[in-house]
Amino acid sequence: MTTGHLTRQTMGVCYYPEHWPEDRWVTDAEMMVAAGISHVRIGEFAWSLMEPEPGQYDWGWLDRSFEVLSNHGLKIVLGTPTATPPKWLVDQMPDMLPVGKDGNVRGFGSRRHYCFSHLGYRAECARITTALAERYGNHPALSEWQTDNEYGCHDTTYSYSQSALVGFRKWLEDRYGTIDALNNAWGNVFWSLIYRSFEEIELPVGAVTQTSPAHQLDFRRYSSDQVVAFNKVQSDIIRAHSPGRGISHNFMGKYTDFDHYAVSQDLDIATWDAYPLGFLEREIGDEEKLKRYMGVGDPDFDAFHHDLYRACGQVRNGQDNGRWWIMEQQPPGPLNWGTFNPEPAPGAGRLWVWEAFAAGAEVVCYFRWRQPSNAQEQMHEGLLLPNGEPNAGYHLCGQIAKELDAIQAAPSAGRADVALVFDYESQWMLDAQKPAQDVSHLDTVLRTYSALRRSGVSVDIIPPTAAAAAGRKAVFLPMLMEVTSDFVDALDASGAVIVAGPWSGAKNNNHAIVEGLPPGALRKLIDIQIRRIETRRPFAPFPLTDGGNFAGWRDHLIVGDGVEIVETQTDGLPAVLQSGKLLYLAGRGDDVAQDRFVRHALTLAGVDWFDLPDDIRIRDNGALRYIFNYGKSTVDMTQVFEESDLAMGSLVLDSCDVACVRIT
Ligand code: GAL
């Protein structure tokens, strides 16, 4: 059997058969089929049932679960159970537990209680993965795998354990070769931090005040590499024992502690877990936004992650063969983990799923099948109530499955005209040394992304590589900290409009200010030099002559020959500069300014954009254009699109409604 790309988009669900009596399983499977579900993820937390005693496997329940699901024609996504090592294993090797920043061991009693650097635990993961893969790897119903569950969740990428210390020293020695090279790279002459050997180096924690940003950056790089290596152990085993089955991992939202592009080198499918209301509640400290989008979530946050993880799904397979899924989708009901857990607005649950399909998802899996009646997640809604009766999510799932049948959309990857660079190292560099409390690479990228979405443009998120940037009309690089000379040459040769800044190209690979001053290698394309950056509190923005502000950040620069000043700040300093096809933004625009900058760049690049009503978003997918209303009022889009081309819905969009038109 081979799997590979699905030709039709479809629905899935996360299921825990082990939580319910076996005589219920057939009913569950029948109900799944009736709701149009095709894929069922199981197994990812069940290690203590798979191996109740060390070395004694009990596959009976899992065999029977495979049989029931398979008899109903359902496809199985099998999770490796390594996010929840059993108690006996932790007792056997207690030093596998992660250690927090405070030096305290993070103990058994919940989940993710392991340190990525612990090689003994990695060997145990290899053992259970091999056992699972040998038993189920060629089962006809098995279609995909999931490695572990949400790497890094509950703040677990970084561990300050003895294993991490040993591993870090070795990693540094491999990277630098000599201690002198490390001392130079880190700038250790500063504050007399010269080391005589790699054995003297500690983890960047517990010092009196800040450690060198280069030390912190390397610890982030090291920790990220451990996640990659941990995942690769499982991927390699699965690939060897289970040919033709796609290997996936479920990433998270707004999570940047490891390099997801790097982990994706060993994955066939990138997936992520989308909880729009949880993210809004948890991540956005903006009261206005919270009120406005309470029932539907941020109109751009999930969409950004769809695009980011689509890019991850393309790392191994190539641009046109990328695969990505939603592995866990919030059902149309409250969660258990938000600061507050509101009910989704009517229609929001459907909008979320279509936003993912519009972005090319193969499968959207709901989390979870049935709300549990006990334990940690008993207050998290599922498709079924705890008593087994259908809840709102069950009915919605059935409705969406029918809509999918009608629209017959294929998952798609493709290449958008507009690309936006998101780079994990830039995030780590800014985390390791923040010029202002509210600055992050991701935040700056998200602001740019939202402006592009407000202009109705479909975007690819890309890593900073020549291959990913090729064939675009416009490439945005907001706050891309290290811009290599090769990347600049590739961008230049591609003929795309390049939109850089603020502070793009400011750092070298050792987290030091670039030679010749920022914007570093970009100076090949624009003769400017940044001599100072200035950050301010939100109440003191930098006003722009054409309207809007730089929000809390601006670059002070000198301007050389052949550079046009496109916009200024009200105090006369340059705001937007242009040289040939490169635009440089000398600050972080608020929404008003950012919309103007983005539209200027799109016009220059010959990319069509829309002046959309507030809260309307558009997404093109091949021959289909999806239109979403994230607002509370009805919006009439009949002036913009032709009613005759409708593939789904109505162009008079109610609150949280979705429409789809065929584009020619
Ligand atoms: C995810 C996790 C699931 C479940 C879910 C609840 O982060 O992968 O196991 O806990 O959240 O929303």
- Sign of the Cα torsion 187, 190, 192, 193 reads negative
Please say if the pLDDT value at position 97 is more than 90.
Answer: yes
Ligand 1 centroid – CA 505 distance (Å):
37
Q: Mean pLDDT, to the nearest integer, of 346-366?
A: 98
- Contact, 148 vs 249, CB < 8 A? yes
Mean pLDDT of 225-249: 98
Average confidence (pLDDT) over 264-283:
94
pLDDT at residue 1, as a whole number: 32
Question: What is the DSSP secondary-structure string of 544-588?
Answer: BTTSSEEEEEEEEEEE-TT-EEEEEBTTS-EEEEEETTEEEE-EE
Asked whether residue 394 carries a pLDDT value surpassing 50, the answer given is yes
- pLDDT above 80: residue 414: no
The residue assigned the tokens 């409250």 is 334
Burial 624-658 (b: 16+ CB within 10 A, else e): bbbbbbbbeeebebeebbeeeeebbbebebbbbbb
Q: How confident is the model at residue 413 (pLDDT cuts 50, 70, 90)?
A: low
Residue 207 clears pLDDT 60, i.e. is over it: yes
Q: Which of 273, 335, 371 has the most ligand 1 atoms within 8 A of CB, as the residue to mutate?
A: 273
Q: Name the pTM for this structure.
A: 0.98
Using alpha carbons, list the distances in angstroms from residue 639 to 154, 486, 525, 636, 647.
47, 45, 41, 7, 17
Give the pair of three-digit tokens for residue 355. Answer: 């936003």
What band does 594 get if pLDDT is binned at 50, 70 and 90? very high
Average pLDDT estimate for 35-55: 98
Read off the pLDDT of each residue in 606-624 and give the average, rounded to a whole number: 95
**pLDDT tens-digit profile of 451-500?**
999 999 999 999 999 999 999 999 999 999 999 999 999 999 999 999 99
* Average model confidence (pLDDT) across the chain: 96
Residue 2 has pLDDT above 70, yes or no: no
Q: Which residues pair with 65 in a beta bridge?
A: none
Model confidence at 3: pLDDT above 60: no
* Atom 10 (ligand 1) nearest CA: 377
pLDDT value at position 495? 97
Say whether 150 is catalytic.
yes
**328 classed as catalytic:** yes
Which of these is catalytic: 328, 355, 362, 567?
328
* CA 6 vs CA 11, 272, 324: distances in Å: 12, 18, 11
Residue 602: the pLDDT is: 98
Pocket flag, ligand 1, residue 292 (CB < 6 Å): no
With a pLDDT cut of 70, the percent of the chain lying above it is 99
The number of beta carbons lying within 10 Å of the beta carbon of residue 166 is 12
Q: For residue 502, is the peptide bond before it cis, meaning its omega torsion is within 30 degrees of 0?
A: yes
Average pLDDT over residues 648-659: 97
pLDDT category at 107 given cuts 50, 70, 90 is very high
Q: Ligand 1 centroid to 439 CA: how many Å?
A: 28
Region 229-233: mean pLDDT is 98
**275 Cβ closer than 6 Å to some ligand 1 atom:** yes
Residues 239-254, mean pLDDT to the nearest whole number: 98
DSSP state of 404: H
Mean pLDDT of 44-61: 98
